[in-house]
Amino acid sequence: MTTLYLVRHGPTHAKTMVGWSDLPADLSDTAAIQRLSDFLPDQAVMISSDLSRASATADALQKSHTRLPHDTDLREIHFGDWELRNFADIEATDPERIRAYWETPGDVRPPNGESWHEVTARVDRAIDRVITAHPGQDIIAVAHFGVILSQVQRAERLTAYEAFSHRIDNLSVTSVSINPSGWSLGHINHNP
């Protein structure tokens, strides 16, 4: 059995839609980082998104974990032209599309961005690669809100809309067990 520990990076404090922009994480809450580090299994391999907010969070949690190369497929949702804009601003200029993106996610795409189906296909490939390369091992993946929700959706066989209803806090962990009989969700948005 493999257990996947999906950790959301430290906060950026941005009040806009942050996808592929490389904003740094605030890792000043050392007590929260220590609690999270203590919660994670010592013998797990660790991988992260290549965006600095995820890779720096992984650095802070690393301890003795074997670190795998960063994976660009573990990046956050690519918001395209919506990147670094706030919801109200986007709603004022593209109201139908932004509402459809969050209310009926799937094939709706931000201008020059990616749809939810494209996100899940990309993330599923990355997760499948690391599981295949490390069978039966625990895996820590330090990534983003959309990445974690994609795997919650996968494990629970949810609709995208149902997946979006889950809260995923910064420095939280969501766990998924993978065995021959399938995927099962353990913790979700656990804050040790």
Q: Whole-model pTM above 0.75?
A: yes
Q: How far apart are CA 24 and CA 52, in angstroms?
A: 6
**pLDDT in single tens digits along all 192 residues of the chain:** 999 999 999 999 999 999 999 999 999 999 999 999 999 999 999 999 999 999 999 999 988 899 999 999 999 999 999 999 999 999 999 999 999 999 998 999 999 999 999 999 999 999 999 999 999 999 999 999 999 999 999 999 999 999 999 999 999 999 999 998 999 999 999 999
**Domain boundaries of the chain, sorted by first residue:** 2-77+116-185
For the record, the structure tokens of 159 come out as 């609709």
Q: How far is CA 187 from the centre of its chain?
A: 14
Q: How far apart are CA 112 and CA 81, in angstroms?
A: 6
CATH number for domain 2-77+116-185, candidates 3.40.50.1100, 1.10.150.120, 3.40.50.1240, 3.40.50.150: 3.40.50.1240
CA distances from 14 to 10, 38, 186 (A): 12, 28, 29
Q: How far apart are CA 115 and CA 132, in angstroms?
A: 26
